[in-house]
Amino acid sequence: MNLKSQETREEEKLIRLLVKNEQFENKKIVAQKVNLSINELDLLLRQLQNKGYKFCFHPHLGFQLESIPDKLNIPLMKAGLDNKIIGRKIYIFKSVSSTNDILLNISESKCIEGTVAITERQNQGRGRLGKNWASPVGGIYLSILLKPHIDFKRITIFNLIGAISVANAINSLYEIPISIKWPNDVLLQGKKLAGVLSEIRTLSDNTNILVVGIGINVCVDTDQLPQEAISLKEYFKKRINLITVIWKVLNCFEHEYNLYKNEKAGQILKNWRQFSTILGQQIRITTENEIFEGYVSNIDLIDGGLIIRLDSGLEKKILSGYVEILK
């Protein structure tokens, strides 16, 4: 696949300026700020209107961005990011097998940390252990490429980072009761709203890249999803702009990733606790080969593993599994 990114600097600069500013803008001042003549600015504004941006014009005050299109595009995507790392390079697709596959198979010369692949839909979206991830149009399907110098055992912490980023983003945008089910589920009203899948690829120089894939049900009708799923559209009974959610998720992700890089795993855990309902609970956990029951006493700060006290009194750390809370 040809990974072509569309870079239109003036457009990006203008959108960034308008997205960040919620007041009316004087055309002359805006034109100066983006290094365009007034005529060029008018032309650009018309082009943006054709792409679905809506402006409000006032005879004295100037103009204001009223709403952004609900269509993924790179300048708009970049305009809402405050990041140094995440979203440094962005690829947008209409349809792919899986955004994780796109980044896991990207050529080594393009393995830039913070690269993000986003698609409108996936035809082979996947969860853990080969499970399917329903990916119809209207959802968010994105993957983030990282180079965090980790060993394979620490991968679970990136599921937590992904889940915290989604929970934080949605909570700060809409203040709705979001929770995280260890290790990678984001729940709304006890139903699955989002999931995270972290995978590793080893490069020819023996270093690893990590790909964190995030799927969120935003504007999806629930008849296109498994029974236990929910979407923001179903919850709010109206359309939600995907881009606003992606901006927030990627900005939150960078925040959590910086905590990880600065060895502040304790803070990540604190953020996770805000949304988690599992600590102190009696659970049953089904791993690939075994089933355990016990009391959740903690999360391992190094690898994100769940520490449970078994009924025998022994403590056990589990890195991945399906959790049920026992009443």
Binding site for ligand BT5 (CB under 6 A): 98-100, 122, 125-128, 131-134, 141-143, 184-185, 192, 195-197, 213-215, 217, 225-226, 229
Q: Contact 232/193 with Cβ under 8 angstroms?
A: yes
Q: Which is nearer to ligand BT5, 168 or 231 (CB)?
A: 231
Q: Contact 188/215 with Cβ under 8 angstroms?
A: no
Q: Which is nearer to ligand BT5, 143 or 276 (CB)?
A: 143
* Beta pairing class for 306-310 and 62-67: unpaired
**In terms of DSSP H, where are the helices of 87-229?**
99-104, 156-174
CB of 221 to ligand BT5, least distance (A): 11
**Residue 296 zone, left/alpha/beta (φ > 0; ψ -120 to 50; rest):** beta
Q: Contact 147/111 with Cβ under 8 angstroms?
A: yes
CA-nearest of 185, 200, 109, 98 to 146 is 200
Q: Which is nearer to ligand BT5, 76 or 142 (CB)?
A: 142
CB of 218 to ligand BT5, least distance (A): 10
Q: Which is nearer to ligand BT5, 111 or 134 (CB)?
A: 134
Q: Which is nearer to ligand BT5, 13 or 128 (CB)?
A: 128
Q: Which is nearer to ligand BT5, 129 or 314 (CB)?
A: 129
Q: Which is nearer to ligand BT5, 143 or 156 (CB)?
A: 143
Structure tokens at 121: 């839909």
Question: Which residue number places its CB atom closest to ligand BT5?
Answer: 195
CA-nearest of 312, 279, 284 to 296 is 279
Q: Is 16 helix (H, G, I), strand (E, B) or coil?
A: helix
CB of 126 to ligand BT5, least distance (A): 4
Q: How many residues does the chain have?
A: 327
Beta bridge partners of residue 122, listed in sequence order: 96
CB of 98 to ligand BT5, least distance (A): 3
**In terms of DSSP H, where are the helices of 51-155?**
74-79, 99-104
Element (H, E) at 222: none
Q: Is 258 helix (H, G, I), strand (E, B) or coil?
A: helix
Q: Which is nearer to ligand BT5, 81 or 197 (CB)?
A: 197
Within 10 Å of residue 13's Cβ, how many Cβ atoms? Answer: 18
Structure tokens at 10: 């003036």
